Structure 1
């Protein structure tokens, strides 16, 4: 497949009188990991929700493998089979076991046979060190384990694109590392990802490119060492100083 996996051109999203995405353009190549940074309200989560068609854009075009997925005639379910998304809240069903949580969508939405779905799920859980938790319920897992289950669920359909939205922000600090390690493994496997995060050290480790969002626009982007160590835009510098100050005061 030639061309970018994801292409966003002139995307605009407005909630009431608030412009959340303002003429935003972004391209993500196959196997590339793009990390979005910026203050709360800068548009990171809305960008991801628009890509996964959880929000309808007001203007602009989003293409997945060259297909215009913002076309109102598009089959939303078919598009979402090719995009995995994980949120900061785990969104696991508390009354279902880990195995049932992971296989629910493949079985009910994508009509996959239970035996096939469960075999695949057990293999995926084994890869992330949770094979022994298949029959456990979410309330018996740590936050880090629940988030790893949520990531496995998003990977069950082998998506072309994986979206991760502040997946460590709801975790206790000691549990963050195990989730970030898993994302690092996915990067090594060539999974194409767009990640919104406030973890600057993680952005440095995992990103091919970091994009700084402010006011619904990408003000600056570049390799992590370049953007995080020598940002050109004054707003990027201000944001990074504020982040560094917050961590140094802890």
Structure 2
């Protein structure tokens, strides 16, 4: 059996006395797209931040390609070079052009020369329809364009694992489609991804596996057809009924 790209074992995280992750286990195989669903506060974003070592664990361990990355001796900056994380807020540097945002990490972190970094960045921007915006500053772009640029910035470092945290939640409805289309392309290319989303239709379409989180635990997981169409757990059914009533399923 091959080593999973991501292996989370017994994760526990406490904020101000509140347990946010509760003995959570999750494995993600190479080329797999795992979608996390659940109500706000269920632990989805915290899980992604712990995987990227932005939040320390209170217990448990995380392995990336078999390496124990939550070992206290591990250099978190070295680990983050292999993980792309895209937030719901775009977090682009406002004083840098789109091109400079995309090339900053390859040049400063990976030591790639400017000419090569810019050539690679332009190929990625061309792919997502942003080549014409390369010299623009982020505030001159629409929300959808900014989010696509943020995803490209992560892709420019050729990550082993992509983490996407509610990447459409800050967008106007008419802009959601262009970002989801890019994520579909990444999935088709075989990118290993963990995606937190409230978009159930998107989860059904792009996920190899859906995990429903509640109270910091994965309550149920399985194929999109099973979890979203015929959930076994009462709590999953209750959540999806509320989502359906809100018109998001």
Q: Give the shorter-chain TM-score range.
A: over 0.9
Partner deviation per Cα, 1:147-194 (whole Å, 9 max, x = no partner): 000000011111110000000000000000000000000000000000
* C-alpha distance in structure 1 between counterparts of 2:213 and 2:113, whole Å: 42
**Structure 2 counterpart SS, 1:210:** strand
* C-alpha distance in structure 2 between counterparts of 1:108 and 1:78, whole Å: 13
What is the match of residue 12 of structure 2? 12
* C-alpha distance in structure 2 between counterparts of 1:229 and 1:121, whole Å: 40
What is the match of residue 40 of structure 1? 40
Say if 2:105 and 2:157, in contact at 8 Å, map to a contact too: no
Partner deviation per Cα, 1:53-85 (whole Å, 9 max, x = no partner): 000111001000000000010011111111000
Say if 2:37 and 2:212, in contact at 8 Å, map to a contact too: yes
What is the match of residue 214 of structure 2? 214
Q: CA deviation at 1:109?
A: 2.1
Gapped runs of 5+ residues in structure 2? none
**Structure 2 counterpart SS, 1:219:** strand
What is the match of residue 79 of structure 1? 79
* C-alpha distance in structure 2 between counterparts of 1:160 and 1:118, whole Å: 21
Matches of residues 211-250 of structure 1 in structure 2 within 5 Å?
211-247=211-247
* C-alpha distance in structure 2 between counterparts of 1:114 and 1:25, whole Å: 41
What is the match of residue 183 of structure 2? 183
Report the count of equivalent residues: 248
Matches of residues 166-205 of structure 1 in structure 2 within 5 Å?
166-205=166-205
What is the match of residue 64 of structure 2? 64
Gapped runs of 5+ residues in structure 1? none
Stretches of 4+ aligned residues off by more than 3 angstroms: none
What is the match of residue 97 of structure 2? 97
Q: CA deviation at 1:110?
A: 2.2
Say if 2:4 and 2:66, in contact at 8 Å, map to a contact too: yes
**TM-score with structure 1 length normalisation?**
0.98
RMSD between aligned residues: 1.0
**TM-score with structure 2 length normalisation?**
0.98
**Structure 1 counterpart SS, 2:129:** coil
**Structure 2 counterpart SS, 1:162:** strand
